[in-house]
Amino acid sequence: MKKDFLKDLNEAQQLAVKHTEGAVMVVAGAGSGKTRVLTYRVAWLINQGVDPFNILALTFTNKAAREMKERIASLMDPSSAKAVWMGTFHSVFARILRAEAHRLGYPSNYTIYDTDDSKSLIRTIIKEKGLDKQLYPAGYVLSRISAAKTSMISPQEYNVNAEIVAQDKASGKPLVGELYSAYASRCKRAGAMDFDDLLCNTHILFEQFPEVLYRYQQQFTHILVDEYQDTNHVQYLIVKSLAANNENLCVVGDDAQSIYAFRGANIQNILNFRRDYPDHTVYKLEQNYRSTGTIVQAANGVIARNRDQIKKTIWTANEAGPLIRLQKAASDNEEGSLVANRIFELRMNLHEPANAFAVLYRTNAQSRAIEEALRRLNIPYRIFGGLSFYSRKEIKDILAYFRLIINPSDEEAIKRIINYPARGIGDTTLNKIIVAADQRRLSLWQAMEMLEEDNLGINTGTRARIREFLDLIGRFRVELRQKDAFVLARQVISATGIMKEMENDDSFEGEARLENIEELLNAISDFAGREREGADVIGQEEAPLPLFRTLEEFMTEVSLITDADTENKEDKEYVSLMTIHAAKGLEFPHVFVVGLEENLFPNIMSIGTRAELEEERRLFYVAITRAMKSVHLSFAETRYRWGSLTFCEPSRFIDDVDQRFIELPQKAAVPPSGMGPGSTSLPSRLNLNKKNYRKLSSVGTNAPPAAASREDDIIPGLQVEHDAFGMGKVLSVEGSGPNRKATVFFPGVGQKQLLLRFARLRIVE
């Protein structure tokens, strides 16, 4: 144990770490060191005599769990860190379900379906039922099923819920409930759970088997939850059940960074913590170690606009730093140029590497203009949120073999690789087997095994090839527990013919696929060589551990990897391009937030209610607080959407930033000749305030804008003039105060709905 390790913490952090009994909520502002508090709290518990085996620490990414374990190991005996039950909600609950799944009618070797598997199964069911795949897109159906599961609504409950049924009918998709029932049934028959099932089934397990819940309550005497503001309803219920015995629960989070409602996260979980645990204690981590004073104060002003929040005052001892730079562009392409030029300038002047910069946007589609501008200036970049390593076809093909060896009932795995590499078993044959399996309530594997008794109209040659396929998988199943993950994986890749097929493809793409397979084997080799961390089954922690790690263990770990856990192993420097959602938890010296326009950010789909708008504002807050040294905001006057040029209004969030912290650049940087386009000349500063902010519309001309008419004077029937749209006629006006809107028809442009506080309409006499 590192001596006096608490000296590494400030006073507020120390108090949060040392308060180990009862319910504790740690409200951790951006950059305040919450991970350090969680890490040191676990170390402190162990130092105070708590058995590591009795500590449960839940995170949202495997990467966060690994980092915490590494930090704990640096503070004390590494074996203690390994004994802690630490991981993501999904990984910890998957581990529990491996031991308990038989109670729910699942095998212990159940498969975990990813999104692609789930969509594939849904598409199969839609086809079998003769439904229109355009009317029932697999992604839409899956999102409805996921929302139901997150709310703990079973297929049976879904189909008798009048409100839900009415919603599906109103959307023109009345059979979603039937698809949900079929999907759940097929998953069960295939011995498979999707990500939502890992949560739902854990809750069902604890609810239906109180003796199991009691055993785990006794096991986990101290529970810690990271990013509590991101928990959904099921996660909340499970944590509450596990902590009910002694309420030694510590949750860490920041309501100001709750941005995942679209995934089912419920901000009320953290806001209502005090209600759930009346004897709780709250500690606020309010010192920001990440950002400059300007960034911290500007972010504070933004989030202060939200009504639903836990009040706190974030501060920093860091230097004030530069003002937040705001730029206006004529178009999205020009915005890309402005951003790229500024990055070029800062790299040259500050000698900063490309890795010091991040460009954040609301939607993935915005990356195009940024990419093109960066390429013109030869600035390296990487887009996050693209196709991850484990989502590449050749990798998923191999993993499907592994899955089938572990669980022969895995329907999606069979469909993927029964004829890969090609072995003469076509779609017609497969469809016959699928239909027969469904009619007889069998798995596909069972249906194929019965072909010697009932040929299903499949010819002798094809049946022989199916038998060879079954025998191949069967041989590997015998060796599943006899060989370590790497040895068996290498044999599978060789014996199935995958390696030979890759080696025969000498194209550039073929070489890349072969390199990916090599990297997969490297990952498995690394996995198989690591010491096994703890026992898998509660009550068997004293049992002797195997000398090697199995392919089944590897697949459990891989199936729970998300994009946030995938680390880039390249040493190259690059500018990071990503959505703001993907940036949460990260930090960069210099951050560019682009596309600050009404209906884009805040997004038009997320401003229907105050709660939705407040989440969009929290998203803006998260974007700003990713920055350590400087923040750059930008918006475009025009942007192409679905092939049509759209005129844009600056985002209301720009007004949320106190004018004291904003700078309008005098002139954007112009790279050396031949390196890229120049930028619009801008005044150095404008006197901004909430009423005259639209002076930005004159940036680049130095000419003062014409005065806008009073918002209350805008009424239906008037002729008005708009800076971008020209002359128009007011058709209607609705709302009041800052939400007062006008619908205006502009000849040549069309009908537009404008927020009057931003529109700067001028009445034409």
Pairwise CA distance, residues 407 & 303, whole Å:
49
Running DSSP on this structure, what letter comes out for residue 671?
P
Token pair 């919603």 in the structure block, residue: 167
Report in angstroms the alpha-carbon separations of 529 from 72, 74, 486. Answer: 22, 21, 9
Q: Which of 13, 88, 235, 257 is catalytic?
A: 257
Q: Give, for 237, the enclosing helix (H) or strand (E).
A: helix 233-243
Report in angstroms the alpha-carbon separations of 646 from 639, 725, 726. Answer: 5, 10, 14
The answer to whether 721 and 697 have CB atoms below 8 angstroms apart is: no
Per DSSP, what are the bridge partners of residue 236? Answer: none
Q: Give, for 195, the enclosing helix (H) or strand (E).
A: helix 195-208
Report in angstroms the alpha-carbon separations of 372 from 335, 366, 378. Answer: 11, 11, 10
The answer to whether 293 and 320 have CB atoms below 8 angstroms apart is: yes
Which amino acid makes up residue 120? S
Indicate if 34 belongs to the active site. Answer: yes
Pairwise CA distance, residues 73 & 83, whole Å:
11
Structure tokens at 437: 């399996």
Surface-to-core class of residue 376, CB atoms within 10 Å of its CB (0-12 exposed, 13-18 middle, 19+ buried): middle
Which amino acid makes up residue 260? Y
Indicate if 257 belongs to the active site. Answer: yes
Indicate if 327 belongs to the active site. Answer: no
Q: Give, for 112, the enclosing helix (H) or strand (E).
A: strand 111-113
Indicate if 615 belongs to the active site. Answer: no
- N residues, the chain: 765
Pairwise CA distance, residues 694 & 675, whole Å:
33
Q: Which of 114, 117, 226, 655 is catalytic?
A: 226
Which residues, in sequence order, are CB contacts of 184 under 8 Å at separation 6+? 154, 155
Q: Which of 227, 255, 397, 484 is catalytic?
A: 227
Running DSSP on this structure, what letter comes out for residue 21?
S
Token pair 């990897």 in the structure block, residue: 561
Q: Which of 14, 20, 35, 562 is catalytic?
A: 35
Indicate if 235 belongs to the active site. Answer: no
Per DSSP, what are the bridge partners of residue 153? Answer: none
Dihedral over Cα of 313, 314, 317, 318: its sign: negative
Report in angstroms the alpha-carbon separations of 552 from 245, 278, 477. Answer: 34, 44, 11
The distance in angstroms from the start CA to the end CA of the chain is: 80
Q: Which of 13, 34, 342, 412 is catalytic?
A: 34
Indicate if 491 belongs to the active site. Answer: no
Q: Which of 69, 186, 618, 626 is catalytic?
A: 626
What is the secondary structure of 532-573 as a DSSP string?
A: P-S-SSTT-TTSPPPSS--HHHHHHHHHT--GGG--------
Which residues, in sequence order, are CB contacts of 150 under 8 Å at separation 6+? 196, 199, 232, 233, 234, 264
Pairwise CA distance, residues 510 & 520, whole Å:
15
For the sheet with 741-746, list strands across it. 750-755, 741-746, 726-734, 719-722, 762-763
The region, left, alpha or beta by phi > 0 then psi within -120 to 50, assigned to residue 585 is left
Cis check: omega of the bond before 602, within 30 degrees of 0: yes
Pairwise CA distance, residues 213 & 208, whole Å:
9
What is the secondary structure of 293-357 as a DSSP string?
A: HHHHHHHHHHHTT-SSS-----B--S---PPEEEEEEEEHHHHHHHHHHHHHHHHHHH---GGGE
Residue numbers annotated as active site: 34-35, 226-227, 257, 626
